């Protein structure tokens, strides 16, 4: 077992005013990707934005973001959102995916959203890997019986804001056990949001799971201070991962390869 995968989730559905370093334009996103790679990220999850800085699945916006990202991230995975808040009508989301011409490696699909299976099918048609976003125990159960369950290249277990360390452990284990019952070998990325972000990340590292961090999930460093940017969040996550590696005798991340 090598160093754990840490994905950088660099902007999320946040508006530009949420943080001064939130990347919005393709140029900003590309520059931020370069910074988080240097900080130790293994891949990136990004939300393409419209001219107002809001999430969009518009083909022109997605194509521009992926094109810019490829200049700085030619050989590591780039993922995007398909969140329903960006385009409410499931049929419109499917149509948008089919019109993308510069394709990401991955796209997350929130399983609780209307039309999730149709969006998944459209992504698979394009050869885009699907990350199944499971926010609750009920989501895991619904995904477990889906005919498209085994098509997911990764499961995202997303723990809610406002739960403490003990609840993180309990809920994560309940969701993970359900996933493992039906898909014992599927890669799992465990993460939280806001106050649960760092406790969940640390627990993911203890379990040897993939995880993620960035301004999408939290604006704060582990000490509670406001993070200056995504790179600072990734460096903090990688420091936790390196310490975990020392604790269990695993190799640390080789930053010279980034």
The CATH code of the domain that includes 200 is 3.20.20.70
Is 121 within the bounds of a domain?
Answer: yes
Q: What is the pLDDT of residue 4?
A: 77
Q: Which residues pair with 158 in a beta bridge?
A: 191
Query: How many distinct structural domains can be found in the chain?
Result: 1
Position 184 in a domain: yes
Q: Is residue 252 part of a domain?
A: no
Residue 257 forms part of a structural domain: no
- What is the residue range of 151's domain? 6-246
Among candidates 194, 213, 137, 214, which has minimal Cα distance to 170? 137
Which residues, 6+ apart, have CB-to-CB distance to 208 below 8 Å?
A: 1, 4
Cα–Cα dist 34/62, whole Å: 18
The C-alpha angle with vertex 159 and arms to 36 and 191, in degrees rounded to 5, equals 25
Q: How far apart, in whole angstroms, are the C-alpha atoms of residue 91 and residue 114?
A: 10
- Given this model, what pLDDT does residue 1 score? 45
Q: What φ, ψ does residue 43 adopt, rounded to 5°? A: -170, 175
pLDDT means over runs of 10, the chain (258 residues): 82 98 98 97 97 97 97 93 97 98 98 98 98 98 98 98 94 98 97 97 96 98 98 97 79 44
What pLDDT is stored for residue 137 in this prediction? 98
Q: Which of 152, 159, 212, 210 lies closest to 186 in space, CA to CA?
A: 152
Distance, in Å, from the CA atom of 115 to the CA atom of 111, rounded to the nearest integer, reads: 9
Q: What share of the chain is helix, strand, coil (3-state, %, to 5)?
A: 45, 15, 40
CB-based contacts of 93, cutoff 8 Å, min separation 6: 57, 82, 84, 86, 87, 115, 118, 119, 122
Other beta carbons less than 10 A from residue 145's beta carbon: 8
pLDDT score at 255:
45
Residue 214 covered by a domain: yes
- Count of CA atoms in the C-beta half-sphere (13 A) of 232: 15
| Predicted local distance difference test score (pLDDT) of residue 257 | 36
pLDDT of residue 146: 98
């Amino acid at each position: 077992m090598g160093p754990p995968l840490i994905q950088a989730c660099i902007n999320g559905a946040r508006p530009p005013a949420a943080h001064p370093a939130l990347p919005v334009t393709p140029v900003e996103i590309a520059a931020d990707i370069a910074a988080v790679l240097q900080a130790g990220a293994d891949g990136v999850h990004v939300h393409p934005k419209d001219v107002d800085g809001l999430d969009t699945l518009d083909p022109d916006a997605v194509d521009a973001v992926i094109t810019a990202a490829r200049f700085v991230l030619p050989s590591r995975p780039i993922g995007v959102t398909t969140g329903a808040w960006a385009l409410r009508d499931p049929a419109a989301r499917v149509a948008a995916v089919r019109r993308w011409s510069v394709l990401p490696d991955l796209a997350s699909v929130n399983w609780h959203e209307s039309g999730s299976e149709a969006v998944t099918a459209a992504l698979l048609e394009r050869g885009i890997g699907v990350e199944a976003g499971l926010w609750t125990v009920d989501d895991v159960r619904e995904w477990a019986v889906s005919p498209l369950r085994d098509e997911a290249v990764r499961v995202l277990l997303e723990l809610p804001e406002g739960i403490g360390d003990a609840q993180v452990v309990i809920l994560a284990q309940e969701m993970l056990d359900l996933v493992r019952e039906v898909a014992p070998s599927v890669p799992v990325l465990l993460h939280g949001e806001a106050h649960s972000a760092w406790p969940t990340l640390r627990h993911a590292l203890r379990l040897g799971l993939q995880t993620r961090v960035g301004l999408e999930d939290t604006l704060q460093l582990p000490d509670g201070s406001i993070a200056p940017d995504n790179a600072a969040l990734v460096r903090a996550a990688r420091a936790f991962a390196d310490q975990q590696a020392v604790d269990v005798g695993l190799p640390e991340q080789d930053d010279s390869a980034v």
